[in-house]
Structure 1
Amino acid sequence: MARSETDTRQRIIAAASKLFYSEGIKSVSVDAVAAAAGVTKRTLYYHFDSKDDLIAAYLGGRDQPNLALFQRWFAESRGGLPARIEAIFKNLARSARHPKWKGCGFLRTSAELANMPGHPAIKIGAAHKKKFESWLRVTFEAEGIAQASRLARQILLLLDGSFAVVLLHRDPSYIETAGEAAASLTSAAMRTRRRAGS
């Protein structure tokens, strides 16, 4: 693909990402995306076969940046493993206080497409969540935690549950509370590890 075509495609994805995240995928038309990207509808359809294809590209574009952000928050925090896990939640709560924050794009999209389980965007969202869970598992395994898979799943559930509750109450402190629970679970898993090794 020529550079100008790549630039156009990226401009369309950027416009779609902004609109889909702020307004939801069902309420945003292809015409609105084309207008925001400064292209014709025909040009948009040259790059994307359908709106579904564009939705998948929107979520695909969020995958690695979101994972990298969580990993950076973890890596840059101080303290032991429980504190570093809690730091992910603390940073997320800080983000949730921004007026433009609308929650998890993957979860919101899956809710809008709940009656379409085979949709490409659902598969991308599921894969994203699995990648985060796998990263947690590997992190816990490196610390010698025996039930690393179980703990990783518990942390993921706390994270995604807090996303949902904050959207209901508009109160980011729920994310901080979930972070405290995640730290407690991690501490308990580490104590079990130490007892098993003693």
Structure 2
Amino acid sequence: MSRPDADSKLTACHDCDLLMRVRLEGEGRACCPRCGALVRRYGAQRQDAELALLLTGVIAFLLANVYPVVTLEAAGARSAATLWQTVVALERQGMLSVAMLVMFTGIVMPSLELGSMLYVRLPLAFGHVPRGFPWLMRLKILTRPWCMVEVFLLGILVSLVKLVSLATVHVGVGLLALFALIMLMAATASRFNPEDLWERYQQCRATA
């Protein structure tokens, strides 16, 4: 019986559960020999692309919270509202539960997910060990199901359709940033692989 390659890693296929040894070196991708499903992508370029998507997502999130989502013009009056101003307005109108839901799904959870991943990935990219790494990885798994920016955006679009007949509606930079944030978070989630982060974490600990 041949001795397993020390540079290879025992990995299970996500589709057919076949156990195989994958040799990770250079740039490339590993596919299952039985069903052909993609098992792993690896390489420094992939990690750089994930970090770039994450940083762009952080910028889009900041723009979505700083600039107005929509601007309304009716009877000569003009009003604009950011995400946070929307939460405050809902609370003042007695809809505290709706305001808390908007703040939770549109502001708090996305900021926790983006912030935790940025805190983890930036030090690992420069070969440093981030403190609290295991706890932050668990936080990432917990926050992802509650990060529902797309549902919040759908509610905004429905509201805009109803407001068109009552006032002139101008799309703000914040709404465009929300669109970009959804696309960037979806792209980041599709590339997220906990195994890669744990391997990088172990490598940084070994060289620290």
TM over 0.5: no
Bigger share in strand: 2
Per the normalisation by structure 1, the TM-score is 0.27
Max radius of gyration: which structure? 2
Structure with more of its chain in helix, by fraction: 1
